[in-house]
Chain A
Amino acid sequence: MGHFTARVRRQPRYIDGDLCTACGICATYCPVIISDDYNEGLAPTKGLHRDYAQAVPASFYIDPALCLFHKHEMCRICVSACQAQAINLYEREEMLDLKVGAVILAPGFGRISEEVLSRYGYGRLPDVVTGMEFERMTSASGPTIGKVLRPSDAQHPNRVAFLQCIGTRDVSCGNGYCSSVCCMYAIKEAVVAKEHDPDLEISIFYLDMRTQGKEFDYARLRAKEKGIRFVRSRVAGVQGKGKLLEISYVDEAGKHLEESFDMVVLPEGLESPRDAQSLAKATGIDLNHYDFCSTRPFSPLETTRPGILVAGAFQGPKDVPESVTDASGAAALAAEVLKEVRGTEIETKTYPAEIEIDEEPRIGVFVCSCGTNIGGVVDVQAVADYAATLDNVVFADTNLYSCAQNTQEAITEKIKENRLNRVVVAACTPRTHEPLFQETLKDAGLNRCLFEMANTRDHCSWVHATLPKEATQKSKDLTRMAVAKARRLQPLPEEKLPVTQKALVIGGGMAGMAAALNIAGQGFECFLVEESRELGGNLRRMRFTLSGDDPKQVLQDTEAKVSSHPLIHVYTNACVERVSGYVGNFITSIRTQDRSETLEHGVFVVATGGKPYEPKQYLYGKSRQVVTQGELEERLTRPEEAKGINDVVMIQCVGSRGEDLSYCSKVCCGQAVKNALKMLELNPSAHITVLYRDMRTYGFAEDYYQLAREKGVMFVSFEKDHPPEVTEKEGSIQVEFLDKILGEKVVLEPDLLALSVGIVPSQSEALSKILKTPLTGDGFFLEAHPKLRPVEFSVEGVYLCGLAHGPKPISESVAQAKAAAGKACIPLAKGYVTVEPIVSSVDTDTCIGCGICESLCPYSAIRMIRVAKKKKAETISASCKGCGICAAHCPSFSISMGGFTNEQILSQIRALAASD
């Protein structure tokens, strides 16, 4: 650990990524046509291509197995087509020996084999498609531009069936586990298809609808409202019948049925990556029995070899939010290992001192051809000539590739030569290229804010390819508008604010402790504030796990590490009272039993957790025979007591999924299975009946569900509208429920009734007001973006993990805690926060102190202060994102946005009106 040499085989791309401008002309000329893997073979692409438009790196590559030069030493058309001279057909494979401290494995997942898919007619029946193929069809940028078409005749289907659990939850193909994501992605695809074509009839055939993720059940309900039909069934097979596909299935009552569709979608499961075994061998790690990476529940991101970490679906099938979370978590663990060498290989670039600029704008306009990307449509010379006639423009010229290194140097020279103090580049999109040109300005001694772009490629030549006259006119207009704005550009300061390099973690459960240990492990001081009198949270109540790990031991070890770590300061019986400041500079008052204390720190991690829902239904609290699963777990630690329990009924979703709580708590199904198995271990003759709505033992927990069924645990499903009834007769309870196969009501008289209750958030509401962080409708904290920023808030410097974010098993809580800690350590490790020049600023002379801006700011980046006894608004620059909501609503026009002032925007508007 800490000292690895990774031997990496780097295959040649044959196109130099530094020179390639991603213009795509080479691909246009490449004569080799192949089927496009990215589009699941539903569309053609070229042998010289990039996998998809957003691929990173953006440059193209050549597949030597397809290239005519590599196969037959002929063609070479791409070489002469490439104006950037980026193609090198003689590039060789490289072997790199990389000295690294930690390794992160993120190879993703593999695909279900065609052999398994063929059991459902795939390959034999053209209108049977995979979920991945259907996904590409429904994509607006896909091969059918978002239209769902039957592959056999390119007609719109009327009736589509989705068959769930393809190549997953299927021991016959070796994949006994649940792939966790297919139910949700099938629903997504069904809804998208239905939005494209509201008349489409869609039926989803499923065993258990596993929409256990945060807010996922709502998506399922919406799908149902849109008319998507859900059929709980077992599908036997798919047969072709003329132009139709006939599905035979067994419904819940055990009836054999047949139904015809125009199209069948197989939302295939996720498999371990194809090269899992060779990767395991190369890295010296263990795989589990399904060839996924072997990990333990309390250290889900650590492989069996210290220093080698794992993230994403290789750890187990999972969706995007969890994969992104894992990635941050694995990076956080790597950062612990690399703590000593942090920042040692960084070179800091220096720039010349900034030139004081004259009042009078001297604008230079550079019009880009982008090879033929712009120049092939737009008359770039005419645009440059036109730009030269505009007021204040003292220089205008064209470039072949404005972004090329030599052009950057030429622009620097032109700036100096012509004493330019504003620069306009008419080229591609500022979203990708503005930072590059701003660097050039800095190299020339200009403030980077004296720059503006006109998007004459993405918004013009590319989208008006057949209208050169109109495109040239539009380019002139866009350039004129950019010049008009450039006239009003002002240099803006780049602020750097120092950071207090300490963190405050709220909540001392497993998530809070895991976060604190990583933050301290990375070398930063950490305050850990726990509301109750001891650390541990829900882990304290956990007695055993499905996987056999001992929670008590884990708790003891973790607690010992936390309390003995010199950088962690634990405050128990403590709560957060007041918070002021902003990212990097928070001041927080906490109250413990006997005193108040003020802590200064740079970031927050919210890990306030959750607690079990307290049931009122099913005679809980009235009959001693009725307990929660947590209470049963406790009883099962006393084997003698367990041996006396012979008949147990468990009811799932008590209070959840449409009762008191509208959501699924993710862990209760696994908990029921865990208790059932423990029960049988202690008393093998016990009868256990589990009444459930959908068994959601997703991922590898499915093995234990399977095991429980093999051991004789009865699982009987019920619908939300027909829950079991529990009554007490002569001091003994009776459970009555509908058995769908028998078609009649069954009454059981168990010794014990265990209720699977969900999880409710704790103290989230009060804290959300103090931290100004939003909550979901269910009272859990709402992250900034479920996929892109799953452990962050829209408020800078505050991060989120554990049950406070939503119900989840402990392994997911730990991964999330490491992720939140990793994100929290970014500003701490940097030691400063930079303020983008686009932030708002308040003119305190004209501000009337009404506070509208403060109330509207979504980032809590405006506060009210007193200036000479008058209320005034003030921007907290470090938190501001530059959205401009404050400026748009200020009744006295006192708020200005850096780079987007009223004057600048109005000048652009008016420039459009001015004709050339």
Chain B
Amino acid sequence: MTNNTFEPKILGFLCNWCCYAAADSAGVARFQYPPNIRAIRVMCTGRMDPLFIIDAFCVGTDGVFVGG
């Protein structure tokens, strides 16, 4: 453990067909990763409006992950 106790709150936008499916597969394979991300499913990352990212930061999200 480090002294740094900062735990970022990360918002993920995951494409239904690839990254969201990959996150499911990570679960099936029981890959362990830090619990800081919360995912929103979109049907394609082409759906990403810059507004979503700005809005996420405005309401206090520390990082945005777009996977597609």
Contact = CB atoms under 8 A, between A and B. Distances in A.
Contacts of A477: 38
A746 interface: no
A458 B24 contact: yes
A35 B60 CA distance: 49
Contacts of A906: 51-52, 55
A459 B23 contact: yes
Given A900-B42, A906-B52, A912 B28 contact: no
Interface string A303-326: 000000000000000000000000
A888 B48 contact: yes
Contacts of B56: 909, 912
Given A458-B27, A884-B47, A885-B46, A909 B32 contact: no
Contacts of A474: 35, 38
Contact of B24 (A459, A464, A838, A913): A459
Contact of A897 (B35, B39, B47): B47
A581 B22 CA distance: 36
Contacts of A53: 25, 28-29
Contact of A431 (B16, B49, B52): B16
A306 B63 CA distance: 62
A283 B63 CA distance: 61
Contacts of A103: none
A154 interface: no
Interface stretch (A129-137, A465-473, A558-566, A702-710): A465-473
A913 B61 contact: yes
B33 to A, nearest CB: 6
Contacts of A458: 23-24, 26-28
A481 B60 CA distance: 15
A429 B21 CA distance: 9
A906 B56 CA distance: 8
Contact of B40 (A883, A887, A908): A908
Contact of A884 (B33, B40, B44, B55): B44
Interface in B4-42: 9, 11, 16, 20-21, 23-33, 35, 38-42
Interface string A428-455: 0111100000000000000000000001
Nearest to A906: B55
Given A887-B47, A910-B55, A464 B30 contact: no
Nearest to B26: A463
Given A897-B47, A909-B52, A430 B41 contact: yes
Contacts of B24: 429, 431-432, 455, 458-459
Contacts of B43: 838, 881-884, 897, 900
Contacts of B61: 909, 912-913
A905 B35 contact: no
A620 interface: no
Nearest to B14: A459
B1 to A, nearest CB: 14
A913 B59 CA distance: 6
A881 B24 CA distance: 22
Nearest to B53: A909
A909 B56 CA distance: 6
Contacts of A430: 41
A56 to B, nearest CB: 14
A459 to B, nearest CB: 6
B47 A464 contact: no
A463 B32 CA distance: 4
Interface of B: 9, 11, 16, 20-21, 23-33, 35, 38-44, 46-49, 51-52, 55-56, 59-61
10 contacts: A457-B27, A460-B35, A464-B32, A465-B30, A465-B32, A478-B39, A882-B44, A884-B42, A905-B47, A913-B61
Given A458-B26, A463-B35, 18 more contacts: A431-B16, A458-B28, A463-B26, A463-B33, A464-B32, A465-B30, A465-B32, A471-B35, A481-B40, A838-B43, A883-B46, A884-B42, A885-B46, A888-B46, A888-B48, A902-B51, A908-B40, A912-B38
Interface of A: 53, 141, 429-432, 455, 457-460, 462-467, 470-471, 473-474, 477-478, 481, 838, 881-885, 887-888, 897, 900, 902, 905-906, 908-910, 912-913
- Nearest 6 A-B pairs (CB), nearest first? A884-B47, A458-B27, A883-B44, A885-B46, A913-B59, A462-B27
